[in-house]
């Protein structure tokens, strides 16, 4: 991966993150719930990836754009687990019990808001309803707030089969932490990391955010140095998107305290350079991993996938998601649960799936999905794969898009190897940071009014 300031300045426009295609703004409540349920029941023979959204947080982080409920009433965890159990029962009736679950992820919110007893109950219901794979191929992970976890939780997670944790770090600078209302010392994180290692977890991810108030290149590089010293297997460096009109908590962040666009670019550039010098591989977008980490291995084997959790291993799984606001994807059909906890609870308690909206992909959507995901995950697309799978002439089908690639080719963002009946599109080293811009050429919905974050 190479840095080119001029190209980044030219192409750093707003665009989707392509955790799905079509993207979430296309989901609609106009789709018949019965039709969505019917599509889910048709399903496929693919392995299953399970996601559980735990919305509760004991603390409000001002930067956060996730669906969350801020409370210190920990008894809410038990009530919520019972809702998840009933939703699992309803969903499991629609699925082949023999389909294997190869991935499981707990996100939030703060999943470790759940007590050990809550977790044990949740896992019991998971095992009752699904066929879990527990061998070297499994990928069971959880997001952890270092302020809200204890050894008993870690031991239980490991016993159940979890093998990866993601720690929310954001920044080690106390000034930044105070401004975003997330104060956690490096010493606390180091202790939690030691507990995680002692419990037997082999893969740890650190989440960082650049663009937060009071950050400078110098201060953030101190955080990067500390992260490298702590030696996680994966690191994510996310761009903070300041959208106070959409997310009320962000209104507590003063605009004048945010780093300038130039400073943000400097922070990102120096972070990338430092991580790559330390031996981390740039996976894509905002993800880095050690070369022997399963994420890097999956990319080498063309098995990387992108979903609502970002880049993950084990391509070709159906995603079944539970909890408030959770999004499932089954063979081109997207289904999103109610984002309001009361509405979600009312539906489940009445024996109904808590469907708020969804989307049923057309054939064109599925073709474009495969093109975009191939570029996002492999940085390369051989048109013959698409032509063969969908029995079409790629060169004719995407005539307009191929013409649009020419300018990106001139600027060195992509390389195009053209033959009579096919082309191979390769995102160059200098274009990898701008891969979203390449994918946008194949997105037919971008003319609709939607607010996205900047590409970088």
Residues ≥6 apart with Cβ < 8 Å to 250: 62, 63, 65, 242, 243, 244
Cβ count near 51 (within 10 Å) = 21
57 is in an annotated binding site: yes
Dihedral sign, CA of 25, 367, 359, 353?
A: negative
26 is in an annotated binding site: no
109 is in an annotated binding site: yes
411 is in an annotated binding site: no
279 is in an annotated binding site: no
108 is in an annotated binding site: yes
**β 164-170/139-144 pair status:** parallel
65 is in an annotated binding site: yes
- Chain position carrying tokens 């419990």: 199
38 is in an annotated binding site: no
345 is in an annotated binding site: no
The DSSP 8-state label assigned to residue 296 in this structure reads H
Residues ≥6 apart with Cβ < 8 Å to 431: 7, 408, 412, 413, 414, 438
Cα-Cα-Cα-Cα dihedral of 433, 434, 438, 443, to 10°?
Answer: 100
The DSSP 8-state label assigned to residue 447 in this structure reads T
61 is in an annotated binding site: yes
380 is in an annotated binding site: no
Tell me how far apart the alpha carbons of residues 166 and 204 are, in angstroms, rounded to a whole number.
6
Tell me how far apart the alpha carbons of residues 44 and 49 are, in angstroms, rounded to a whole number.
13
Grouping H, G, I as helix, E, B as strand and the rest as coil, residue 210 is strand
24 is in an annotated binding site: no
435 half-sphere exposure, CB direction, 13 A CA radius = 27
51 is in an annotated binding site: yes
63 is in an annotated binding site: yes
Q: What DSSP string describes 255-288?
A: GGGSPPHHHHHHHHHHHHHHHHHTT-EEEETTEE
296 is in an annotated binding site: no
Q: In whole angstroms, how far apart are CA 210 and each of 15, 246, 272, 432?
A: 18, 20, 12, 19
Annotated binding site: 51, 57, 61, 63-65, 108-110, 143, 170, 182, 207, 241, 327
Annotated binding site for [4Fe-4S] cluster: 57, 61, 64
Annotated binding site for S-adenosyl-L-methionine: 51, 63-65, 108-110, 143, 170, 182, 207, 241, 327
């Amino acid at each position: 991966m190479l840095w080119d300031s001029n190209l980044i300045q030219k192409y750093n426009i707003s665009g989707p993150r392509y955790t799905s295609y079509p993207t979430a703004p296309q989901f609609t409540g106009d789709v018949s719930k019965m039709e969505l349920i019917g599509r889910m029941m048709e399903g496929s023979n693919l392995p299953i990836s399970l996601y559980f959204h735990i919305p509760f947080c004991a603390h409000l982080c001002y930067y956060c754009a996730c669906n969350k409920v801020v409370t210190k009433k920990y008894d809410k965890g038990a009530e919520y687990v019972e809702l998840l159990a009933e939703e699992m029962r309803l969903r499991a009736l629609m699925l082949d019990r023999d389909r294997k679950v190869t991935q499981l992820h707990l996100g939030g919110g703060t999943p470790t808001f759940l007590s050990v007893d809550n977790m044990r109950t949740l896992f019991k219901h998971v095992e009752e309803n699904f066929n879990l794979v527990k061998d070297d191929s499994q990928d069971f992970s959880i997001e952890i707030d270092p302020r809200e976890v204890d050894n008993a939780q870690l031991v239980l997670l490991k016993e159940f089969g979890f093998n990866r944790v993601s720690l929310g770090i954001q920044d080690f600078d106390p000034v930044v932490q105070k401004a975003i209302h997330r104060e956690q010392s490096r010493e606390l994180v180091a202790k939690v990391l030691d507990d995680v290692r002692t419990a037997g977890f082999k893969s740890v991810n650190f989440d960082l955010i650049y663009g937060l108030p009071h950050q400078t290149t110098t201060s953030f590089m101190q955080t990067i140095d500390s992260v490298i010293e702590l030696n996680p297997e994966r690191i994510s460096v996310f761009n903070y998107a300041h959208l106070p009109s959409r997310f009320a908590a962000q209104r507590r962040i003063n605009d004048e305290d945010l780093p300038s666009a130039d400073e943000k670019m400097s922070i990102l550039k120096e972070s990338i350079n430092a991580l790559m010098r330390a031996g981390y591989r740039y996976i894509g977008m905002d993800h880095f991993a050690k070369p022997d980490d399963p994420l890097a291995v999956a990319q080498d084997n063309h098995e990387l996938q992108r979903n609502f959790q970002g880049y993950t291993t084990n391509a070709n799984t159906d995603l079944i998601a539970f909890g408030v606001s959770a999004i499932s994807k089954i063979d081109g059909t997207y289904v999103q649960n109610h984002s309001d906890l009361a509405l979600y609870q009312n539906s489940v308690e009445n024996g109904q799936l808590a469907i708020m909206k969804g989307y049923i992909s057309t054939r064109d959507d599925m073709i474009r999905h495969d093109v975009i995901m191939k570029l996002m995950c492999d940085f390369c697309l051989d048109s013959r794969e698409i032509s063969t799978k969908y029995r079409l002439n790629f060169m004719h089908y995407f005539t307009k898009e191929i013409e649009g690639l020419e300018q990106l080719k001139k600027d060195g963002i992509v390389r195009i190897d053209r033959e009579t009946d096919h082309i191979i599109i390769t995102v160059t080293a200098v274009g990898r940071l701008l891969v979203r811009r390449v994918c946008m050429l194949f997105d037919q919905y971008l003319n609709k009014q939607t607010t996205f974050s900047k590409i970088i």
